[in-house]
Structure 1
């Protein structure tokens, strides 16, 4: 650990020396610097703009080329706007399938309370974007690597997307992403209504130590029940966003259809827990189980459900396909 911090400090000092030399008019070779000089191209320092952030006004590149998005949702926002980040934080070992190909050359930095500064520096970003609630404590260190924009937290991901779009000059694209998803939701809601009508649906996540039921007042449950229009069980407490329950309590919320997400399908403890659930009489006597109306859905693909447009779009396709398979010819 001490070696890593010494290496980081050394790299930062080198960066500061290079910056100081540039400020004195000394040319720094970048491999293509001579071509830039001969073509009369302006330096990056002159192609900047001023933006507002949670830390006040800062200067960033007018057209950033190497962007790092911190938190697990900012990378999705960036890609939805047509920007492939050079490094991201990741909760799962693998990217969700809808990002695996475009992010094939994107550095994974893992997820932690403190970002991997050494990895961020290695990625050589010219812009770092992060939510203030996640990265304000690390702001001073991040700004030594690249201009860092911290944005305010939002209750709705659409506002987060618009905030980022304003920073990277993609505001029209952001509105198009939002509108396209609205249209897709309407078509999906109509399809699901034709398939199951007013039959009730319960969405649960099986985690290592608990089962979580999602109501309509939280991002995930809101997406299933309000945006896709699937009827919740009537006795789910309206004041609750999500509820942690044991298997013994689950029959009290006996829905016609059960959407089941393993929080991490690669986690052996979660898989073992679910396999044990399947063998119990409590599980076998659930209405949805007896009618073969249980829908197993992805873990990492559903991880950002209700919090990012690409996850929402993927889930729409996933859930419609699952319900069509078991209900189309009833």
Structure 2
């Protein structure tokens, strides 16, 4: 099995190359002092790992979380390569930004449950690495941070940024210095939320949001972040299951917690149920109805179980705008 760890010889070569370049550099002229040059060509970004000095205008960016790609393409960032949506999967560009990725010549990097392929990243010679976000990509990036920074300046998007607004704002304002792009996106989104909220009929009672992995393991989305929070902005009432204190996220910085099928019958007593696949269309309502545990739930009994695309779970800006259209269609007031 191929190692995903950077060998000591490779790391040594990276350091040696940097020292050689610094040793051969010509003396700086008074009018182009190192401090003046640094101010013009670099930016300092505050992260959970400390301040990171990055290129002000990066030329080759490696992205280690597929879920963050939409933001980078909206910001016209030169994404040279990225990890696939899931480990050990056949990589496919999202319909939301496939044209941008193809135009940029973006490649896919190998990615497994063991970690990132650091040698493949090194071979690309990036001048900036963007990683982090939510869940597994954040855990792996944090674990490999020292090795990643030996390759290029690495910015890990904090797991505390659970909403698309927070992630996009950080990337647009702090990292790539394009605040206007984010401000315009936020204004368009807020306007659309207001319009959709006035045109839908929200089911009464509480709702729960359930995601299924490929092996049919159910995960409840935490109610005060991400997708459930977006629905609450539209007038839905996500059930406070996580707030009960009985559950822990499946991983640090995660946006969901796992339950068993047996627990589902006891916990999922809410009036409405929203179902999603995890990283793929892994589930459908017909399959759940065939399971007596789920078919007995109030949401199925009252025909208030709804399925939305898998990408809704961790929707970025463009996906959130598309999701608003789907919500408007699903819950449109009668007569509209």
Common fold: TM-score over 0.5: yes
Q: Name the residue aligned to 1:49.
A: 42
Is 1:91 aligned with 2:85? yes
Q: Name the residue aligned to 2:224.
A: 217
SS at match of 1:221: helix
Is 1:185 aligned with 2:196? no
The equivalences for 1:31-110 within 5 A come to 48-54=41-47, 57-92=51-86, 93-104=91-102, 105-109=105-109, 110=111
Q: Name the residue aligned to 2:148.
A: 142
Higher gyration radius (CA): 1
The equivalences for 1:217-296 within 5 A come to 217-224=224-231, 226-232=232-238, 238-239=243-244, 244-246=259-261, 249-250=264-265, 253-265=268-280, 277-289=288-300, 292-296=303-307
Query: Per the alignment, do residues 12 and 119 of structure 1 end up closer, same or farther by CA in structure 2, a change over 3 Å counting?
Result: farther
CA distance in 2, matches of 1:284, 1:170: 49
Q: Name the residue aligned to 1:176.
A: 184
Q: 1:49-102: per-residue Cα shift (whole Å, max 9, x none)?
A: 241444555543221122223334433332343325222233334344323332
- How far off its partner does 1:297 sit? 1.7
Q: 1:323 aligns with which of 326, 331, 336?
A: 331
The equivalences for 1:8-23 within 5 A come to 9=9, 13=13, 17=17, 20=20
Normalization by structure 1: what TM-score? 0.70
Q: Name the residue aligned to 2:314.
A: 304
Q: Tell whether the 8 Å contact from 1:45 to 1:61 is kept in structure 2 after alignment.
A: no
Query: Per the alignment, do residues 264 and 73 of structure 1 end up closer, same or farther by CA in structure 2, a change over 3 Å counting?
Result: closer
Q: Which runs of 5+ in 1 are unaligned?
A: 27-43
Q: Name the residue aligned to 1:205.
A: 211
CA distance in 2, matches of 1:20, 1:99: 40
- How far off its partner does 1:173 sit? 1.7
Residues paired across the two proteins, number? 300
- How far off its partner does 1:117 sit? 1.5
- How far off its partner does 1:16 sit? 5.0
CA distance in 2, matches of 1:19, 1:117: 21
SS at match of 2:62: strand
CA distance in 1, matches of 2:13, 2:222: 51
Is 1:129 aligned with 2:135? no
Is 1:162 aligned with 2:179? no
Q: 1:133-169: per-residue Cα shift (whole Å, max 9, x none)?
A: 6434433432333233345543444344333232211
Normalization by structure 2: what TM-score? 0.69
SS at match of 1:103: helix
Q: Which runs of 5+ in 2 are unaligned?
A: 27-36, 248-256
